[in-house]
A and B are shown apart, each in its own frame.
Chain A
Amino acid sequence: MADILSLEGITKSFDGLKAIDSLDLKVETGTISAIIGPNGAGKTTLFNLICGYLYPDSGRVIYKDKDVTNLMSWERSLLGMGRLFQDIRVFKKLTLLENLLVTFNDSSENPFKAIFGRRNRKEKKKIKTAMEWLDFVNLTDMKDRLAENLSWGQQKLLSLARLLCGNFDLLLIDEPVSGVNPDMADVILKKTKELKGLGKTIIAVEHNIEAVEAISDYIYFMDSGKIIASGLPEEILNNQKVMEAYIGI
């Protein structure tokens, strides 16, 4: 399908205040889109609506040509919608390997299999796949360390690896390079670009304009619950009105 995600007329209010106002959005498969805008524009709310943590007052969420508006959040995750949170949220007391092993969502996650089943080749295969993705983010030698012992940037990479291991197709990334030093930011951006090569679609919320410029195919500028402007990076970033609205407030 051409557009992996399509939002139609999404509206959401909290206590009478419109957080998202009749928003339409089409995201082409295999692209990297960035959503920028001032604080309070509704970017995170938009993500929550796409993922299913919130339900819109009106409008539809179409994912992979399927109307998922009434599906629960975990159901959307199973369909391939992945999320990387602003506060990362890796499983701190689990090892890196375990963080990845938990993404498979297969039939072995079953208590009966646990008690009566045999540890078989399937487990070994899972570990192999998980290690490949750890390798992708260069965290192989830390596989048995607890995730809480990683640096912030490393945790972000781990999160990315989780999304890949779990075979998500649409990745909603909340501030990929916030809170990391420039070197780590480069690594993260590089890896994000590689994801595109793997056929993934990425929507990122980001404040760092350089980062946005470096990797995006499209930029959406949001303010007050609406998409004010959208287009190619050169267009948006050279747009006076947009930059004023963004930096002005």
Chain B
Amino acid sequence: MNYLLHILIMISIYTILTLSLNLPVGYTGLLSLAQAAFYGIGAYAATLLLMKAGINFFAALAIAVVLSATFSLLVSYPSIRLKGDYFILASLSFQIIIFTILYNWINLTRGPYGIPGIPRPEILGIKFDDLYKFFALSGGIAFVILLVTKRLYSSPFGLVLKAIREDELSAISLGKNIKKFKILAFAISSGIAAIAGALYSAYVTYIDPTSFTLDESIFILSIVLVGGSGNLRGPVIGTLLMILLPEGLRFLGIPDSLAPNIRQIIYALILILLMRFRPQGLAGEYRFG
């Protein structure tokens, strides 16, 4: 049962991450390899606020969201102007830069030593310290984010994003400041990723920079591309598939030493085939190029 709850919690955290990346990828066509960086910023910001400043988890979460979104401006403001694969490269660069800072700024983050003993969240006397309660929390937050993104997509703001995705030139001719909308989308995405980071750190109670590497960014992007982007179904289906797959492998009796490699091979293969034959992913709406 604990195992099942663990899986469910991870699914809820990754659903939040995937929904967050869905906004830049599926709605403004920005393929970003920097999501793990904002995931990490959220995790570290929330953790440090929680443990060093003694703030309540939920307040720390809110502040972490704002910090992450603000930080994203440093990344998006200069990079938005870059075309296609140059943007991906820039996002990759920022991912590495931010990771390096998390890893090396030992005075702040303790670098590779990590931060242990992160307390589970509590509010109004409720402590989310067993798996059932934590799943209620993470699942609940994931559900709220799902509703929030649904509202975003069906709002006038969401409509503008869709229009920009369809035809930038046409959107400009109607008076849309493309840069502003892309930057906003990116900021919201980073804020939501921070929520996932805060939840993750409170769940595993120990964080170090190795959870927020380029590989992780690639993984998150893969989920978005495999599941499909530009709608709500895609990210959810993608998350379910990509998280449950390795568990399925375990049932097949693949030894633990080989499992990570085989997992990567399967992910990569799925991605290659989809890019070739079905770029909108399994359940997505947005087709690239």
With contact pairs A115-B148, A115-B152 given, residues A73 and B172 touching in the complex (Cβ less than 8 Å): yes
Are A94 and B166 touching (Cβ within 8 A)?
Answer: yes
Q: Which residues of B contact A166 (CB under 8 A)?
A: 174-175
Q: Does A152 contact B (CB under 8 A)?
A: no
Q: Which of A89, A103, A104, A114 contacts B169 (CB 8 A)?
A: A89
Q: Is the CB of A89 within 8 A of B167?
A: yes
- CB contacts under 8 Å to A, within B159-186, are 159-160, 162-163, 166-167, 169-178, 184
Q: Known A91-B167, A102-B159; judge A114-B174 contact (CB<8 A).
A: no
Tell me whether B166 and A85 are in contact (CB under 8 A). no
The answer to the question of B113 belonging to the interface, with a C-beta cut-off of 8 Å to chain A, is no
Instruction: Assess the B152–A51 pair: CB atoms within 8 A.
Output: no
Q: Which of A33-41, A75-83, A225-233, A240-248 contacts B (4 or more CB under 8 A)?
A: A75-83
Q: Give every chain A residue within 8 A of B160 (Cβ-Cβ).
A: 102, 109
B258 to chain A, nearest CB (A): 43
Q: Given the complex, which residues of A lie within 8 Å of B188, measured CB to CB?
A: 111
In whole angstroms, what is the CA distance A232 to B56 when docked?
A: 76
Q: Are B151 and A92 in contact (CB under 8 A)?
A: no
Task: Please state if B157 and A77 are interface contacts (CB–CB under 8 Å).
Answer: no
Q: Separation in Å of the B247 CB from the closest CB of chain A?
A: 34
Q: Does B114 contact A (CB under 8 A)?
A: no
Contact A162 B151 (CB under 8 A): no
Residue contact A74 to B157, C-beta cutoff 8 Å: no
Let me know if A114 and B167 touch, CB within 8 A. Answer: no
Q: Is B158 an interface residue (CB 8 A)?
A: yes
A28 to chain B, nearest CB (A): 23
Q: How many A-B residue pairs have CB under 8 A?
A: 87
Query: Which of chain B's residues has its CB closest to A104's CB?
Result: B156
Would B170 and A105 count as touching, CB distance under 8 A? no
Which residues of A, 32-90, contact B by the 8 Å Cβ criterion?
Answer: 51, 53, 73-74, 77-78, 82-83, 85, 89-90
B173 to chain A, nearest CB (A): 4
Interface string of A154-177 (1 = CB under 8 A from B): 000000001000100000000000
- Nearest neighbor of B185 in chain A, beta-carbon distance: A111
Identify the interface centre among B169, B173, B178: most chain A CB within 10 Å of its CB: B173
Is A105 touching B152 in the complex (CB atoms < 8 A)? Answer: no
Distance, CA A85 to CA B176, complexed state (A): 16
Chain A residues whose CB sits within 8 angstroms of the CB of B167 once the complex forms: 89, 91-92
The answer, yes or no, to whether A134 is at the interface (CB within 8 Å) is no
Q: How far is the CA of A91 from the CA of B177 in the complex (A)?
A: 17
Known A-B contacts A89-B169, A91-B170, A102-B160; the reply to A74 vs B175 at CB < 8 A is yes
Give chain A residues whose Cβ lies under 8 Å from the Cβ of B151: 114-115
- Least Cβ–Cβ distance between A112 and chain B, in angstroms: 9
For the complex, give the distance between the alpha carbons of A248 and B173 in Å. 35
Cβ of A101 < 8 Å from any Cβ of B?
A: yes
Q: Does A108 contact B (CB under 8 A)?
A: yes
Query: A109-B157, A111-B184, A114-B152 are contacts. A93–B175 as well, Cβ < 8 Å?
Result: no
Q: Is B155 an interface residue (CB 8 A)?
A: yes
Partner of A94, one of B152, B159, B169, B172: B159
Q: For residue B168, which residue of chain A has the nearest CB? A: A89
Binding site for A on B (CB under 8 A): 148, 151-152, 155-160, 162-163, 166-167, 169-178, 184, 188, 285
Given contacts A104-B156, A109-B160, 17 further A-B contacts (CB under 8 A): A74-B175, A74-B176, A77-B175, A82-B174, A85-B173, A92-B166, A92-B167, A98-B159, A105-B174, A110-B156, A111-B155, A113-B155, A113-B156, A114-B155, A114-B156, A115-B151, A166-B175
**Top 4 closest pairs, chain A to chain B, by CB:** A114-B155, A77-B175, A89-B170, A91-B166
- 8 A–B contact pairs at CB < 8 A? A77-B174, A102-B174, A106-B156, A109-B159, A110-B156, A111-B184, A113-B155, A115-B148
